[in-house]
């Protein structure tokens, strides 16, 4: 491992421990100043005659499980669930606060993710946002409770059939599939919550040959999806992996649906030649929906999940077979889980600014849309275990991150009809081109930013846009001229730009930038805009795998017992990922990894699959012919 990579990983991990990234420093400092001098929660509880045993239980020794679920359960017992706390927050604020900290796209999580008894409390949300959320017990000096500091020096050894490392969509999918195949699974996640980057996915899940496409008369095929993906990645992706992605996409949608998902709405994202981005009805964000479904499935199957537990080493025997992992628990310390198979679903490294800069110096200092846990340690640990890394320099920047924030403005907003304009009020690019080309075009504009413009019609077509208003990111006006004044662009020029675009929509042909899909014109007041800048969004490189998701070593051979899926892997997307393909990737390859890990645990040989191309078989449905009525 290159020394600079090790330094980059270390710095990335340090960032994970901070309450907020530098982009949010102003907001966090303001909250910290307001909370300065507040008492720790443990001391505040003493004022109400709440003692150690009320929170920690009546055991002789005060101890915490790594997930801190016991203490969180005590919080809920006294204060009520997150839903109840959300209601109480609303009652207390009486509509004055636009941010309710107990209602979130991350879903339910342990109270201790934010509220800590013996050290300063800090909002988990401020890892990505800059909300001023005053908290009792915030910004105080760390204090260790009596009897809780020491950890056992005994190195425990536990057993499982399969250890899955990473609790995003790929990891949870693998855990569910393996469990359904009767394997004993332990899912290990370093963060205090499940979801990873998957819970931030906004646009949709690409899939071809689905019943939802057929019902809408959309002509598509896995081979077309394959060709679009290869072209979008400049033909650098591994064709065998890309065909697995495309030809298993319909089955992935059916699998999710069988587990409770509803992604029957279909739209289009950049680089696709057909509408294939499946998303929840009404246009809500796909990530929270899919991860919510997976979390419920994990809970229903009682899959053992360990939060706040970080894998620090992969174990191998003399024959080179992976035999387990060493884990560092937040409270339990270091221990080993021996297993017959290990699945890495550890995500990418977009939030590790130093690693990104070491591979792509031109991206140094650029913000990221990722959650803070995406620092790439899975790739480092995998390489230490003998894995080959591929496409590591291929780092995607997303063209539409809200300026001054880390909030991704979903590609589905453009997919539903929004346009991009510069400070002159003019369009400058095909809004549905691939992300690399769109980002390059934005960076060439004055100020290195642009505006995504939409109207009331687009707003009503996509429910997730409401969240951008909620976060205070949207400017508006009753007319294009008023919107121009709001964003600092010539109003008459912006009006002409919108008028010209509407003409292209009417003619069903974009003569200016050859945009392939224009679902609606911008004619419904009010008019809105969000300033956007490109941000680091996805890392296409990672552990090399074959179509069975087996991790491949430097000699080109599978490492026995070692599997990987999701953004931790490389080879699927080439030099540029198409929007909508990552959610599909997590489910498709997560299912394969879970199934093959279970087979390995059962002593069944795993054989990589090679898919041969097939001709398209889906045609749009013909509209029923209506015979004209005869004149009476």
Q: Could you identify the residue written with the tokens 């999710």? A: 256
- Other C-beta atoms closer than 10 Å to the C-beta of 467 total 15
Question: Does residue 412 contact residue 420 with C-beta atoms inside 8 Å?
Answer: no
**Torsion on CA atoms 146, 149, 155, 161, rounded to nearest 10:** 90
Residue 375: both structure tokens together? 């620092």
Q: Return the active site residues.
A: 435
Both tokens assigned to 192: 């205090």
Residue 29 tokens, joined: 């400092």
DSSP output for 125-185: GGGT-------TTBS----PPTT-S----S-EEEEEEEEEE--SHHHHHHHHHHHHTT--E
What CA–CA distance (Å, rounded) separates 400 from 382? 32
> According to DSSP H, which parts of 385-490 are helical?
411-415, 435-443, 456-461, 465-470, 480-487
The backbone torsions φ and ψ at residue 86, rounded to the nearest 5 degrees and listed phi first, read -65, -40
CA-wise closest residue to 559 among 540, 541, 543: 543
Contact 199/287 with Cβ under 8 angstroms? yes
Tokens of 567: 């953004």
Q: How far apart are CA 239 and CA 243, in angstroms?
A: 6
Cα angle, residue 264 at apex, residues 417 and 82 outer, rounded to 5°? 95
Residue written as token pair 């969000």: 530
Handedness of CA 366, 20, 370, 170 (dihedral sign): positive
Task: Specify the residue for token string 């964000």.
Answer: 285
**Cis amide linkage into residue 526, ω under 30° from 0:** yes
Give the integer Cα–Cα distance in Å for 622 and 115.
Answer: 58
């Amino acid at each position: 491992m290159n020394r600079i990579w090790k330094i980059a990983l270390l710095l990335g991990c340090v960032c994970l421990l901070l309450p907020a990234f530098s982009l949010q420093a102003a907001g966090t400092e303001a909250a910290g100043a307001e909370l300065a001098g507040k008492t720790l929660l443990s001391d505040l509880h003493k004022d109400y005659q709440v003692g150690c045993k009320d929170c920690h239980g009546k055991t002789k020794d005060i101890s915490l499980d790594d997930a801190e679920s016991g203490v969180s359960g005590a919080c809920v017992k006294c204060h009520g669930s997150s839903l109840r706390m959300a209601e109480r927050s609303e009652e207390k604020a009486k509509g004055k606060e636009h941010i309710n900290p107990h209602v979130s796209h991350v879903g339910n999580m342990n109270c201790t993710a934010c509220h800590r008894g013996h050290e300063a409390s800090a909002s988990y949300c401020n890892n990505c946002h800059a909300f001023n959320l005053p908290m009792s017990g915030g910004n105080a000096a760390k204090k260790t409770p009596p009897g809780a500091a020491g950890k056992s020096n005994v190195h425990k050894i536990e057993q499982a059939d399969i250890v899955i490392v990473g609790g995003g969509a790929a990891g949870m999918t693998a855990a569910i599939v393996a469990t359904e195949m009767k394997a004993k699974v332990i899912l290990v996640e370093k963060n205090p919550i499940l979801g990873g980057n998957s819970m931030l996915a906004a646009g949709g899940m690409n899939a071809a040959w689905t019943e939802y496409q057929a019902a809408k008369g959309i002509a598509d095929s896995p081979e077309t999806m394959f060709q679009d993906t290869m072209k979008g990645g400049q033909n650098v992706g591994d064709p065998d992996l890309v065909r697995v992605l495309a030809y298993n996409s319909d089955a992935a949608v059916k699998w999710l649906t069988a587990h409770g998902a509803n992604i029957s709405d279909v739209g289009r994202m950049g680089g696709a030649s057909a509408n294939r981005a499946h998303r929840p009805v009404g246009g809500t964000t796909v990530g929270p929906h899919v991860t919510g479904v997976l979390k419920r499935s994990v809970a229903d199957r009682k899959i053992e999940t360990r939060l706040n537990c970080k894998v620090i080493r992969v174990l191998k025997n003399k024959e080179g077979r992976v035999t387990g992992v060493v884990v560092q628990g937040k409270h339990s310390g270091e221990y080993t889980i021996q297993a017959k198979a290990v699945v890495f679903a550890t995500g990418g490294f977009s939030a590790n600014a130093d690693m990104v800069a070491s591979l792509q110096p031109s991206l140094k200092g650029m913000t990221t849309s990722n959650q803070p846990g995406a620092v790439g340690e899975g790739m480092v640990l995998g390489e230490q275990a003998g894995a080959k890394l591929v496409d590591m320099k291929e780092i995607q920047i997303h063209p539409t991150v809200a300026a001054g924030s880390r909030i991704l403005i979903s590609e589905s907003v453009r997919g539903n009809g929004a346009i991009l304009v510069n400070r002159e009020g003019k369009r400058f690019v095909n809004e549905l081109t691939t992300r690399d080309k769109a980002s390059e075009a934005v960076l060439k504009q004055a100020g290195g930013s642009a505006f995504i413009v939409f109207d009331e019609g687009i707003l009503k077509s996509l429910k997730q846009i409401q969240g951008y208003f909620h976060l205070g990111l949207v400017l508006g006006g009753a007319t294009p001229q008023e919107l121009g004044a709001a964003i600092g662009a010539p109003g008459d020029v912006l009006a002409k730009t919108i008028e010209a675009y509407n003409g292209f929509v009417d003619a069903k042909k974009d003569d200016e930038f050859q945009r392939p899909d224009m679902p609606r014109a911008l004619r419904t007041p009010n008019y809105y805009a969000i300033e956007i800048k490109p941000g680091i969004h996805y890392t296409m490189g990672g552990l090399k795998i074959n179509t069975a998701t087996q991790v491949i070593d430097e000699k080109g051979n599978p490492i026995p017992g070692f599997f990987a899926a999701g953004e931790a892997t490389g080879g699927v997307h080439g030099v540029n990922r198409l929007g909508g393909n990552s959610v599909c990737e997590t489910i498709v390859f997560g299912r394969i990894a879970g199934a093959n890990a279970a087979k390995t645990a059962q002593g069944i040989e795993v054989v990589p699959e090679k898919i041969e191309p097939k001709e398209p078989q889906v045609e749009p449905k013909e509209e029923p012919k209506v015979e004209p009525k005869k004149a009476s």
